[in-house]
Amino acid sequence: MVKPKAKYRKNVAGILPRPLLRQIEHIQRLAREAGFFLHDRELLHCRKCGLLEDVDNMGQLITYNSGHTISDTGLRFMKGKGHKYLCPACGAITCEDVE
Ligand SMILES: [Zn+2]
């Protein structure tokens, strides 16, 4: 097996150079902090109280109550371990649908 050239060994999985990957991670962190949904997981739904996540036309993550007008409650699910999240409205644990 032939060893890759030095500049390619710095790439992540042979695709992205590490500096570019760090810039992408930085931009993703800033976008997430600004409230944008990055589509890196499924939208959540609390089966106990009906709180739903959705994305508005600007790409912002919102939550609203099922059966009501879609208007952001300002509440956000809190990340737990693995694919589990805590509902900010009722405290129930909900899981991301993972295939
Ligand atoms: Zn709930």
- Report pLDDT digits (tens) over 89-99: 999 999 887 65
Q: How far is CA 19 from CA 3, 16, 26, 29, 57, in A?
A: 22, 8, 11, 15, 31
Query: What is the extent of the structural domain holding 78?
Result: 51-95
Does residue 70 sit within a domain? Answer: yes
SS3 16: strand
Question: How much is the average pLDDT of 57-82?
Answer: 94
Does residue 44 sit within a domain? Answer: no
Claim to verify: residue 29 and residue 59 sit in the same structural domain: no
Does residue 41 sit within a domain? Answer: no
Instruction: Look over the chain and give the mean of its residue pLDDT values, rounded to a whole number.
Output: 87
Claim to verify: residue 55 and residue 29 sit in the same structural domain: no
Does residue 74 sit within a domain? Answer: yes
If you measure from the C-alpha of residue 47 to the centroid of ligand 1, how many angstroms do you get, rounded to a whole number?
7
Does residue 13 sit within a domain? Answer: yes
> The whole model's pTM is what?
0.74
Cβ atoms within 10 Å of 30's Cβ, excluding its own: 10
In the chain, the number of structural domains is 2
Does residue 83 sit within a domain? Answer: yes
If you measure from the C-alpha of residue 35 to the centroid of ligand 1, how many angstroms do you get, rounded to a whole number?
20
